[in-house]
Structure 1
Amino acid sequence: MSAPITVHRPSNSGGRRVCVRTAGIDRDLGIAFSDVDVEEFLRRAGLPEGAAILDDPGWLEWRGGREWGTG
């Protein structure tokens, strides 16, 4: 089973789309430019322990690697 949260590859601007899958449907949480942004999206989605799960592959899939940067 894949992780319910996906942080997509960086765009040319450096932002990464963050999505959560619930009940078989992907919901777009927004574009993140840092770990802090991802943590905030997760908090808003009801996961207050966002920082603790950033490196947990059971929760998050980092497409294109964990690093931030452009394209």
Structure 2
Amino acid sequence: MSAKLVVYPPDENGRRRVRYEGSDVGVAQRPSDVAAFAAAAGRTGAEDLDLTDPRCVEWRGGGPETWAEEP
């Protein structure tokens, strides 16, 4: 099963687009934003979301520690 929450690579300002079930839910500036967007989008159990679990979150262009684009 693929993750329904997808975090895209950081832009030039370190912000990352977040999609849940195929819909844009926000632009994150930090890991806590990802969980907040998931909760706002109605994801069950968002308060206990393990951001490092690939079954929960698909990180593209770096994991939860990556927020600035590499030069």
Instruction: Specify the TM-score bucket, using the shorter chain as the normaliser.
Output: 0.7 to 0.9
More strand by share: 1
Among candidates 50, 59, 63, match of residue 62 of structure 1: 59
Which residue of the partner structure matches residue 8 of structure 1? 8
Q: Structure 1 69/51 Cα, relative in aligned 2: closer, same or farther at 3 Å?
A: farther
1:55/1:40 CA distance change after superposition, 3 Å: same
TM-score by length of 1: 0.79
* Residue of structure 2 in register with 1:33 after alignment: 29
Gaps of 5+ in 2: none
Q: More displaced, 47-56 or 5-14?
A: 47-56
| Partner Cα separation in structure 1 for residue 17 and residue 50 of structure 2 | 17
Pick aligned residue for 1:49 from 46, 49, 52: 46
Identity of aligned residues (%): 39
Q: Distance in 2 between matches of 1:51 and 1:19?
A: 18
Aligned length: 67
What's the Cα RMSD here? Answer: 1.7
Show structure 1 runs of 4+ deviating over 3 A.
none
